[in-house]
Amino acid sequence: MIKVLKEGTKVTLTGKTARGWAQLVNGKSTGWSSMQYLASSTTGRPAVIGKRVATADLDIRTTSGAGAKTVAEAKKDTALSVTGAIQNGRAQIIYKGAIRWVTAKYLSNLKSNLPAPPKLPKITGTRYATATLNIRSTYADKYKLITEVPRGTKLSITGVVKNGRMQIIFEKAVRWVTAKYLSRSAPSSIPPSWRAVERGLKPNAIKVHRAARAKFPQITTYYTLRAGVFTDHSTGRALDLMIPNYRSASGKALGYKVAAWAKANARDLGINYVIWNQHIWNIQRDSEGWRYMADRGGDSANHKNHVHITVFAAGFDPR
């Protein structure tokens, strides 16, 4: 170890990375730091250390794991912003403001030489959020907001508490939450009917369900898991929010309000696409807005009596 840098210290990255480490310069010293403790001073996301060029057409994935969702394709010779982190043979990139992954071996000049991967602090237990919690970049009063998680979210803790905040491991990174809003047992305020709806859903779908319940209490019927072969509903990634009196003016207005809310909060809620009233919007083609869909038959098939929301599979686990 050369020296310890205080939290908030600005450093200069050289662009060299290896197995989750980044080479940096501080004053007259040059050394290596774990990428998990480096973040952009403006966004709070992992710092971009440079560009790499795709040597083939590449799938852009939501995670480094085998079950990741493909959200886009980068054509050969596309320049991609890399953070230097590599997991499961995939390189972490920042794509359209979000953390994504691509196969590392198809990026030019991406190297992974000798330093061993940095280790996260040991997880000592779990706690449940007793209120909506900010996931923070640091325990200090000045911090970057990473995301929010709803009441009932199960979090992995390390046992470290500073400034009234508990250190957690969230999405494979060190984060912090307000300690007084953590409990050893899950809060009991989630109605059994909600739990029944959420059975078999992916974490992002649960997140959407709870957010929608809070935002639109007048919607009481949700259809989620149903039989099929690798469909959005059969894999637990889809919800149908049934609009009461959908043919009335108030019902139609509610449907448009729900669809607009889902679109506006898609990034925070992990939403992939939304269908309402025979129109579809998805996050990959956001610039095209709502696109008309061909007539499929009745009101249900044309999504006139419900707002359909499909989420990305990856995300936090609120149970």
Q: At what angle do helices 249-264 and 203-215 cross, to 10 degrees?
A: 130
* Cβ-Cβ contacts under 8 Å for 136 (sequence gap 6 or more): 143, 144, 145, 146, 165, 175, 176, 177
- Look at residue 318 and tell me whether its pLDDT is greater than 50: no
Mean pLDDT, the chain, as a whole number? 86
> In angstroms, rounded to a whole number, what is the distance separating the alpha carbons of residues 271 and 282?
8
Examine the domain organization and report whether 289 and 257 are in the same domain.
yes
* Other residues' Cβ atoms within 10 Å of the Cβ of residue 73: 13
Rounded average pLDDT over 277-283: 96
Q: What is the pLDDT of residue 41?
A: 56
State the amino acid at position 68 in one-letter form: A
What are residue 56's phi and psi, to 5 degrees? -155, 170
Examine the domain organization and report whether 137 and 241 are in the same domain.
no
* 90 located within any domain: yes
Minimum mean pLDDT range among 5-9, 107-111, 313-317: 313-317
* Domain end point (choices 183, 217, 233): 183
Give tens-digit pLDDT for 128-170.
988 778 999 999 999 999 888 887 899 999 999 999 999 999 9
Give tens-digit pLDDT for 238-248.
999 999 999 99
* 59 located within any domain: yes
* 317 located within any domain: no
* Domain end point (choices 157, 183, 209): 183
Output the six-digit token pair for 182. Answer: 């953590």
The reply to whether the predicted model has a pTM over 0.85 is no
Examine the domain organization and report whether 299 and 208 are in the same domain.
yes
Domain limits at 291?
Answer: 192-311
* 4 located within any domain: no
Rounded average pLDDT over 5-9: 72
Q: What is the pLDDT of residue 260?
A: 97
Examine the domain organization and report whether 286 and 233 are in the same domain.
yes
* Domain end point (choices 136, 165, 183): 183
Percent of the chain scored above 70 by pLDDT? 87
* Total number of domains constituting the chain: 3
* 114 located within any domain: no
Assess contact for 105 and 54: CB atoms under 8 A.
no
Give tens-digit pLDDT for 35-79.
666 666 555 577 777 788 898 999 999 988 888 899 999 999 898
